Chains A and B, each alone.
Chain A
């Protein structure tokens, strides 16, 4: 049986002679670098702005949903109902004239139109 060459090759991590610094240490060293204050301020301001934006959106949505639940009140329009005026308050010289005006509304001619059967003779 032939020996396979790769069987004797140690993978680098198993080689005790090949001492390498663990990677985690490198990372820790990088994180230990102090963050620039400008970036920190920018991040804080950005996060505050984002939070405020979120609050604003939530409040707007809440307000919208509240107003839609309210009854729609029609736009005030000019009413055609005439106010009731006590005629006794009208000065006496004008009372008769107003009475005549009020009565004039019932003075349309009482003239019922004729009803004819136009099919007579056909």
Chain B
């Protein structure tokens, strides 16, 4: 009897040992999936953001409706409805902003500083969503809205800076690809290439400088169009670089 038990225990132990070994082997060969590295994650987060944007729009429309009713009747019930509608707008706008920042973070793998900055505001928005349910008076709603208005300037600065940085990163990758292709084709990176590369990098610096311009305390000054203008100039130079490379390769092969 005791032998049977012993055999069963041993076979169970053997089974478990095998099971964990296979599990460890599987885990060893499994490729770690980093959130920021998956291109599908970007699509997933982007879709979520677009959904949250629609949600925000609905809550905002509802708020405008409740606000109109309160303006007409000024009743206690209308005021309560208006406060509730405003709270819903706050919650949905914070969720929407957070989903936007998360999406942006997925395309900023090469810029950990930007990612950290974005993460900071994601956390701030999450914290605020825990506070919003406790807003029960018109005064407290107004106070929170004023606080958010000030903070939103910083959020927008981070958001647009991240957007510009992601576009610079994409262009730097393209520039690397151009260099690799030139090496592969045996084309020497001549002084004219270096000159154009220098011009491109200058435009990137100008775009980053545009992002760092001082903001007013009460109003956000949108620097994105200016930065985008520099990025477009960088694109023109890069296209010229590609055209030069094409010409070199065609000439060398004829």
Residues of A within 8 A of B (CB): 80, 82-83, 85, 87, 89-91, 94, 97-98, 100-102, 104-105, 107-111, 113-114, 116-122
Judging by beta carbons under 8 Å apart, are B97 and A100 in contact?
Answer: no
What's the count of A-B pairs with C-beta under 8 Å?
105
In the bound assembly, the distance between CA atoms of A42 and B160 in angstroms comes to 84
Judging by beta carbons under 8 Å apart, are B239 and A117 in contact?
Answer: no
Chain B contact patch, size range: 35 or more
Q: Which of B96-134 contact A (CB under 8 A)?
A: 96-97, 100, 103-104, 107
Given the complex, which residues of A lie within 8 Å of B146, measured CB to CB?
A: 122
A72 to chain B, nearest CB (A): 26
Known: A82-B240, A113-B160, A116-B97. A108 touches B170 (CB 8 A): yes
Residues of B within 8 A of A (CB): 42, 46, 49, 53, 56, 60, 63, 86, 89-90, 93, 96-97, 100, 103-104, 107, 141-142, 144-146, 148-149, 152, 156, 159-160, 163, 166-167, 170, 173-174, 177-178, 181, 184-185, 224, 235-236, 238-240, 242-243, 246-247, 249-250, 253
A59 to chain B, nearest CB (A): 45
In the bound assembly, the distance between CA atoms of A100 and B242 in angstroms comes to 11
Looking at the complex, which one of A80, A91, A104, A109 makes contact with B249 (CB distance below 8 Å)?
A: A91
Looking at the complex, which one of B86, B152, B246 makes contact with A121 (CB distance below 8 Å)?
A: B86
* Dominant secondary structure at the B interface: helix
A117 to chain B, nearest CB (A): 6
Known: A109-B163, A111-B46. A80 touches B247 (CB 8 A): no
Given the complex, which residues of A lie within 8 Å of B46, measured CB to CB?
A: 110-111
Judging by beta carbons under 8 Å apart, are B243 and A82 in contact?
Answer: yes
> Can you report 10 A-B residue pairs in the complex whose CB atoms are below 8 A from each other?
A82-B243, A89-B250, A101-B174, A105-B174, A113-B159, A113-B160, A114-B53, A117-B89, A118-B145, A121-B86
